[in-house]
């Protein structure tokens, strides 16, 4: 049996990665990130319950560049998961299944995520610094 007659699968160099697949993977990743963010929320509440000294330790750690980067990542994850969840609600109602509609809604989710995250950090948090 000769391998020359078998059709070849598309190689990664010719395959175009669809945005809908990217958002699907990102949705799962942000869900995991939000789980870790929930643990941070529990530690924050725990530090409040244990008193002022415990809270100051937590507040000092979260005020570091690493802590702020984690907060930024968790807020991005929250807004992405929320925006993509709304998109899925429209799909559950039977809207937006056409390829063009799915691509447009995917880009809208990304734009909404960036705008909501930036707005949150500029308005509520007073900026990243």
Q: What is the pLDDT of residues 12-37, one digit of tens each?
A: 666 778 999 999 999 999 999 999 99
The answer to whether residue 105 is domain-embedded is: yes
Cβ proximity of 62 and 107 under 8 Å: no
- Give the CATH number of the domain where residue 59 resides: 1.20.1300.10
Note the pLDDT tens digit of each residue in 95-127.
Answer: 999 999 999 999 999 999 999 999 999 987 665
Does the residue 95 lie in any domain?
Answer: yes
Q: How many domains does the chain have?
A: 1
Task: For 13-128, list the strands marked E by DSSP.
Answer: none
Does some domain include residue 7?
no
In a domain, residue 1? The reply is no
Q: Rounded to the nearest 5 degrees, what angle is found at the Cα of 113, between the Cα atoms of 111 and 119?
A: 100
Domain assignment of residue 30, yes or no: yes
Local confidence band at 6 (pLDDT 50, 70, 90 cut-offs)? low
Q: Kindly report whether the global pTM for this prediction surpasses the value 0.85.
A: no
User: Looking at the predicted structure, is the pLDDT value of residue 74 above 90?
Assistant: yes
Question: In this structure, is residue 66 part of a structural domain?
Answer: yes
Determine the structural domain holding residue 51 and report its residue range: 23-124
The per-residue pLDDT for 16 is: 78
Closest CA to 81 of 25, 42, 21: 25
On whether residue 77 sits in a domain, the answer given is yes
Place of tokens 């930036």: 118
């Amino acid at each position: 049996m000769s391998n020359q007659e078998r059709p070849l699968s598309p190689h990664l160099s010719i395959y175009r990665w669809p945005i809908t697949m990217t958002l699907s993977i990102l949705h799962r990743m942000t869900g995991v990130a939000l789980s870790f963010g929930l643990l941070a929320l529990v530690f924050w509440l725990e530090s409040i319950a244990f008193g002022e000294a415990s809270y100051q330790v937590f507040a000092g750690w979260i005020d570091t560049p690493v802590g702020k980067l984690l907060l930024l990542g968790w807020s991005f994850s929250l807004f992405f998961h929320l925006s993509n969840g709304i998109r899925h609600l429209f799909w559950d109602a039977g809207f937006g299944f056409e390829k063009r509609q799915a691509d447009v809604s995917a880009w809208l989710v990304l734009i909404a995520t960036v705008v909501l995250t930036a707005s949150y950090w500029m308005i509520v948090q007073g900026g990243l610094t």
